[in-house]
Amino acid sequence: MRALKRYDRRGFTLVELMIVVAIIGVLAALAIFGVRRYLASAKTSEAKNSVGAITRGAAAAFERETAASEILTDPGNSAAASHSLCADATPVPDAPPPGVKYQPDTTEGEDFESGDATSGWKCLRFSMTQPMYYQYHYYRGARVPGVTGGPTPGTGVNGFEAGAVGDLDNDGVFSYFVRGGTVNTDTGQLVVATQVHIENEYE
């Protein structure tokens, strides 16, 4: 008589399978959340970089000496060269894109091609030609409506604000990225905020 050797072929229990499925579900949820946050961060980096570039353009424009065009008498002296902030730039586009990208108009006089040597985007020497998620603005001595915190620029010609406004998820709640600067009336130097102020970053 032969004894048959039997092998233990025990499988997984239902409880073990449920635990494995639960772990996979948790990991999948974390992965989806991480990917969404990564994509949102990639979009907001556009605003941060662009606001920084507008601010650098405003500082560079202030550092350039400007002088009025004059016809001098013989003999005579011209007016002294001065430093001044660029005047307001028209926001581009007219309203924040509702969860989609906006393609700037590169026609002369439109969008970022507007302004002159002392005002607008041409004064700032800032331009965007690629599709963008945000509305960009530059104001001298003013603030974008809706922003409650962040840097407070000066009044009149003494301050400026560069910023971006967006609505990435098209829910009517806006995100704000702003950076300001003020001319110190005692020293005549332009002082710029150390970083971009952000409200509702992922909206």
Maximum average pLDDT range among 47-51, 64-68, 83-87, 156-160: 47-51
| CA 134 – CA 54 distance, rounded (Å) | 14
Residue 175 has pLDDT above 70, yes or no: yes
% pLDDT > 70, the chain: 81
Predicted TM-score (pTM) of the model is 0.75
| CA 197 – CA 122 distance, rounded (Å) | 25
Domain with 100 in it? 34-64+83-199
In the predicted model, what is the mean pLDDT of residues 80-109?
A: 89
Residue 168 has pLDDT above 50, yes or no: yes
The verdict on residue 11 lying in a domain is: no
Helices and strands (H and E) in the chain: how many:
2, 6
pLDDT digits (tens, 9 = 90+) for 103-121: 999 999 999 999 998 899 9
The verdict on residue 14 lying in a domain is: no
Least confident interval from 11-25, 40-54, 111-125, 136-150: 136-150
At 58, which helix (H) or strand (E)? helix 14-63
For 26, half-sphere exposure in the C-beta direction (CA atoms, 13 angstrom radius) is 6
The verdict on residue 78 lying in a domain is: no
**Mean of per-residue pLDDT scores for the chain:** 83
Torsion angle of the four alpha carbons 57, 197, 172, 49, in this order, in degrees rounded to the nearest 10: 40
The verdict on residue 132 lying in a domain is: yes
| CA 130 – CA 42 distance, rounded (Å) | 15
The verdict on residue 76 lying in a domain is: no
What total number of domains does the chain contain? Answer: 1
The pLDDT of residue 148 is 56
The verdict on residue 181 lying in a domain is: yes
The verdict on residue 190 lying in a domain is: yes
The verdict on residue 5 lying in a domain is: no
